[in-house]
Structure 1
Amino acid sequence: MATVQFRLRLSQCTSKLRCIGFADLSSDTSSPPLGTMVICPTKVDLDNEDDVASSLACMERGRPDGGPEMEVTLLTKKNSGSVKDDNILLMYLHGGGFTVRGGKNMLSHQIFTEMLKQDDKLMGRATFAIVEYRLAPLSHYPDATNDSMLALEYLVKTKGLGNSGVHIIGQSAGATLAMEVTLKSMSVDGLSVDSFLVDEPMIPLPRKNSNNNTWAFDSDSFRRYAWTSMPSTRWLEWSLMAYSGISFSELEESTIPIGMIETPVDITGGALSPEKWTQAVEEGGVPGLPHLLLVTALGDPLRSGGQYFKQVYEQVLMAAGETKPESKLSYMEAVSGHAGLYIFEPALFKRLMTVFLDKIRSVRRQRRFREDQLQNLNE
């Protein structure tokens, strides 16, 4: 964890939006966050698009001088009531190549509203947390990971969220974060991620025949779809350099073929190593591996990275004694390019949310059953 002082901003939102202000949070102390919560004057009906757009002025105030500020927006269903002892945490990590901000975007709202449509009652117990982590080039790896871990630990341990399930949703760069955060959470006492949705992750792969440990985007899909503009392969490589903290001269960079920019920094934090997952299970004492819901897409230069992680996780599940890896791994593939399923494939998007909700329900049932058993023993 980083040693800098953070200000963690929580925007607590319902269909009548309430934004709650600042809490001081330091990563180098065991003390709980302290600070005065203030009510933001804006109230918004989330069913009204114009009102939602106008509310962003409230939720996106600039970062103050004097140190990095971190923002987490919490969404809950309108009139959901008190579900403190039966609460589901959904933590959302946005995409953008680690260089673009945008957690409160159309995709995050689309996910949450679709889940509400499919199971209004279940989502009445859910808190949807949108994390705004630090971005490159002003920040480098592992700042985004540290921010995400900081948010997860605060939401679970201090806010008391997720006692009926903790689930992480990540898209693109956020999907890469979801992989690492899930892995690291297994070694933190009191954290237990139950499932993670990895949607078209931004994964540089280990270089073959390399004398050094380096990673690059070069892969079958990166070469085949090099022409695409969503996302641009050149922009992906610039983002990789920015987040890794490496640079080349303009002349040197112009001579490097597409996909061949190498970084000595593993921005997945070991999530591509089966041994790291096995070690986390053994050392963390967690009951089992979390369920992975993985999405890749044809036409996406990052497709090979997602498929590589699928093979890694299958290997991890087999090593853990899972005779049926499909029970802990769900895989879907879109056909409309990077993030295209949200616009061009509504049926696939709905099915994705259906599968995710099934897992959330299953986890809640298991957790409530264990809670009931413990309560009966104590009586």
Structure 2
Amino acid sequence: MTSDRRIVIGADTHLDTIHLAAITDTGQLLSDAEFRTNPTGYWAAICWARSLGEVVSAGVEGTSSYGAGFTQALQANNIHVVEVNRPDRSARRRQGKSDPLDAHSAARAVLAGHGLAVPKDPHTGALKALLVARRGAIKARTAAIQQIKDLLVTAPAELRERYRRYRTTLRLVEALARCHPTAHEDPTTVSVLTACKTLAQRIEFLERQDRDLTAELDSLTSKLNPALRAAYGVGPDTAAQLLITAGTNAHRLRSEAAFAMLAGAAPIPASSGKTTRHRLSRGGDRAANNALHRIALLRWSHDPRTRDYTACQLAAGRSKKDILRLLKRAIAREMFRHLTAPCPIDDYSDLRPARQAKNITLSAVANHFGVWPNDISRLERGLKRDDTLAADYRRWLKIQLIDAA
């Protein structure tokens, strides 16, 4: 009887347990059970579900958090998995809340096809781990710098005046990390200097961690999506956040409008009476919205095309907030293309050997194109992306070769 029955299961996930509910494809509740969140528990849950019938689909809450292990176990056993949103709060208030109820609600959501999403690829977790560690290091470094400054405010006058001459935080940290507290006789001075030295050495350690983690993020994002990483204004941190939001399996995004809504960059109508306008969205993934915001600000400051566009919009009477909303929406459209249709990027590694083979200096190239020599050097090393300049540079080198021949 059960071999011909088609069932749908829902999973309410927690740190130590998962609760499953099984319903038929007509919505009849069959059974529910609780299992441990370990490989043995996952296998027991799958065997329990299959004992009730053929598992058509499984709806799991939190496929990227508490439900990550169970999601991978289901996929390894060729069971289709979808991510379900948590139950509506108004429904919870009417029906109550418990693990069996939440699991049953997840199963019914799968059957109804409402509020479902494709789970993210497990490889997204690698980026998330590196990004969390890097941001934690930056946060701890900022806190340590503020603690040093607070300690020096109330330090003895002689100590305060000695370190006041360091105008930059970098120089101050370097000086404190190499100071000798025991060379002083005043116990207060010794204690304050010892604390500041410990904090300064902690800052240097965190800075090394930041550099190492940034290099790992740069390498991983460049490998996963070189076109995204090469886009103007997209650094390792920003690229990693966009990949985490979208998932490395970007086919889960239905359209660029859906991605804009996910990233909180979709225009929200804010019209009333004779006023017709849109405003910035306050929903979506705020970390992804922050990534788009940073790209927009960087392009606004340094990208000539963006600066020309903003100047035209300001002349047309738009406010800076409206222009920023338009920029973020356009950037979301561009990022969606990079995320869903990765493409190879131009390799600049041939430029430097070709220039050196003709004994042409960086200054000569820079003077010809009207840029700084450092810009040409960064372009040759792949530290700066400018496909137009690279193409013109390559054609110019070929002309120099023909003239030399």
TM over 0.5: no
Query: More relative contact order in 1 or in 2 (CA 8 Å, sep 6+)?
Result: 1
Considering only CA atoms, is the larger Rg found in Structure 1 or Structure 2? 2
More helix per residue = 2
More strand per residue = 1
Instruction: Please state which band the TM-score falls in when normalised by the shorter chain.
Output: under 0.3
